[in-house]
Amino acid sequence: MTFKTLIFFFLGLFLVFSVKAADVCSNKTGDARIVCLQAESDRLSSQSKTLSNQIAQYNNQINLATLKIQQTEEKIALLGGRINQLETSLDDLTKAFSSRVVETYKLARSGSTIFLLLTSGSLNEVVSRFHYLQLVQNEDGNFLQRLQTAQVTYKNQKTDQEELQIELAKQKANLNNQKAAKNALLLQTKNDEVKYQQLLAQAYAEKAAIEKALVSGVKVGPIKRGDSISLVGNSGYPGCSTGKHLHFEIRKDGTWTDPGSYLSGKTVRNDQDNGGNVNVGSGSWPWPVEDTVRLTQFYGHTPYSWKYKYSGGIHTGYDMVSTSSDVIRAPADGTLFKFSQMCGSSAINIVYIEHGDNLVSFYLHVQ
């Protein structure tokens, strides 16, 4: 077998296995397909970190999200049909019951003891008419119970429908995020494996710089809330920064924490999704930069967080810029530290504040 023949042989094997991997769940439907796709996601996550593997993960997540949306929409449609039937039945029951109440009321009045005695020909007729009135009233009681049961069922199914609509909105948002993340990945890497590995290395280098800063940072001294601590910059570019911004990160007990739980509520510009204004923050700290704040990347899974493998693919802080000032101010009292080291081909500058109670805030890429 010639060398050229061997190449085509192995290339053919590669294509066969690639197609097989891509179609591994195609013969399954419903919940079985969801379970298969989730298992495939776990398998892909455990494999080596390559661009092709990352794209396969996104494709798998997109398929999974699409399938869940289809299932939820089917449930909503089915439930909608049941609710329409219930509405018709409930309306008919209500009208019928209202009519029976009127008739029973008339019968009850005509069934008074005096009226029965005056209008009946015999005692047996009095007893018969009295028992008939009791039967009618008992039937009305059963009718009312059926009506109340229908009302409760209708209310519960309307609640289920509302909850499914909320879930559907979340699923659609997740699908859009997965598609945006895949597009961002291809845009950032230019579909080039070398570029992909460089970006992964830069993310790890930035993490290593923060970890080293905690050990080797130079103590500046105590600072108060509102004190100026540095200026927004682009230190670390091009190895560990993509442009001028502040990476603001919080760790509590050594664990990454959403900064929004500490920062006060503020309307900011959502530059991550090219959107309008959003309200962010539920804490009491003032923001480290002045208005107007533009958030270029949020905390958590974002279109750009695929490269943070060490954190499970989440962006560990907020990336932000101010349209009015580069001054960074301390959001709370504490002890200030400064640190600088090489990150790729350039030095990255970091300041951080120890606030006590194992709470630390970080400020990266400062001037």
pLDDT tens, N- to C-terminus, the chain (367 residues): 443 443 333 334 333 334 344 467 878 777 888 888 888 877 877 676 899 999 998 999 899 999 999 999 988 888 877 767 666 666 666 666 666 566 555 555 554 555 545 555 555 665 565 566 667 667 766 766 776 777 777 677 788 888 999 999 999 999 998 898 899 899 989 989 999 998 998 899 889 999 999 999 999 999 999 999 999 999 999 888 889 999 999 999 999 999 999 999 999 999 998 779 999 999 999 999 999 999 999 999 998 898 998 898 899 999 999 999 999 999 999 999 999 998 878 899 999 999 999 999 999 999 9
Per-residue confidence (pLDDT) for residue 3, from 0 to 100 = 37
Which amino acid type is present at position 351? V
Whole-angstrom distance, CA of residue 312 vs CA of residue 317: 14
Per-residue confidence (pLDDT) for residue 1, from 0 to 100 = 46
Q: For residue 315, how many other CB atoms are within 10 A of its CB?
A: 24
CB 314 within 8 Å of CB 203: no
CA angle 211, 217, 222 (to 5 degrees): 125
Report domain extents, the chain.
23-191, 196-364
Q: For residue 331, how many other CB atoms are within 10 A of its CB?
A: 24
Q: For residue 295, how many other CB atoms are within 10 A of its CB?
A: 21
Q: Report in angstroms the alpha-carbon separations of 249 from 41, 245, 261, 269, 271.
A: 29, 13, 12, 19, 18
For residue 339, what are the contacts with CB-CB under 8 A and spacing of at least 6?
209, 212, 213, 216, 217, 218, 349, 350, 351, 352
Architecture of domain 23-191: Orthogonal Bundle (1.10)
Per-residue confidence (pLDDT) for residue 13, from 0 to 100 = 37
- Give the number of C-alpha atoms closer than 13 A to the C-alpha of residue 88, restricted to the C-beta side: 5
User: pTM, whole model, 2 decimals?
Assistant: 0.68
Per-residue confidence (pLDDT) for residue 326, from 0 to 100 = 97
Tokens of 101: 């109440």
E runs forming strands in the chain = 218-223, 228-231, 246-252, 255-257, 266-270, 277-280, 293-297, 317-322, 327-329, 334-343, 346-356, 359-364
Whole-angstrom distance, CA of residue 297 vs CA of residue 127: 83
Q: Report in angstroms the alpha-carbon separations of 7 from 19, 21, 320, 349.
A: 18, 21, 50, 49
